[in-house]
Structure 1
Amino acid sequence: MAYRNPAPTVDIIVEMLDRPDRPIILIERMFEPLGWAIPGGFIDYGESAETAGKREAMEEIGLEIELVELLGVYSAPDRDPRQHTLSTVYIATATGTPKAGDDAKQAHVLNLWEIPKNLCFDHGKIVADYLKYRYYQQRPILGK
Structure 2
Amino acid sequence: MSITHDIPCPHCSQPVTMYRNPAPTVDIVIYDPTKGVVLIERANEPHGWALPGGFIDYGETCESAAIREAKEETNLDVILTELIGVYSDPKRDPRHHTMSVAYSAVTNDASALMAGDDAQNARFFPLESLPTIVFDHDVIVADFANRLKRLNK
Q: TM-score, normalised by structure 2?
A: 0.83
| Regions of 4+ moved over 6 Å | none
Aligned runs of 1:22-101 on 2, under 5 Å? 23-94=36-107, 95-97=109-111, 98-101=113-116
Displacement of 1:3 in angstroms is 0.8
Give a deviation string over 1:90-137, Cα, whole Å, max 9, x none: 000013221000000100111112211x21100011111111111125
Q: Which residue of 2 aligns with 1:13?
A: 29
RMSD: 1.2
Unaligned runs of 5+ in 2: 1-16
Whole-Å separation in 1 of the counterparts to 2:122 and 2:116: 8
Q: 1:4 aligns with which of 13, 20, 38?
A: 20
Name the structure where strand makes up a greater proportion of residues.
2
Question: Secondary structure of 1:114's match?
Answer: coil
Displacement of 1:50 in angstroms is 0.4
Alignment-mate amino acid for residue 13 of structure 1: V
Whole-Å separation in 2 of the counterparts to 1:31 and 1:85: 17
Aligned runs of 1:110-121 on 2, under 5 Å? 110-116=125-131, 118-121=132-135
Q: Which residue of 1 aligns with 2:144?
A: 130
Aligned runs of 1:133-144 on 2, under 5 Å? 133-137=147-151
Displacement of 1:23 in angstroms is 1.1
Greater displacement, 49-58 / 89-98: 89-98
Structure number, greater radius of gyration: 2
Displacement of 1:51 in angstroms is 0.4
Unaligned runs of 5+ in 1: 138-144
- The one of the two structures with greater contact order (alpha-carbon pairs below 8 A, sep at least 6) is 1
Give a deviation string over 1:57-108, Cα, whole Å, max 9, x none: 1100001000011000000001000110000000000132210000001001
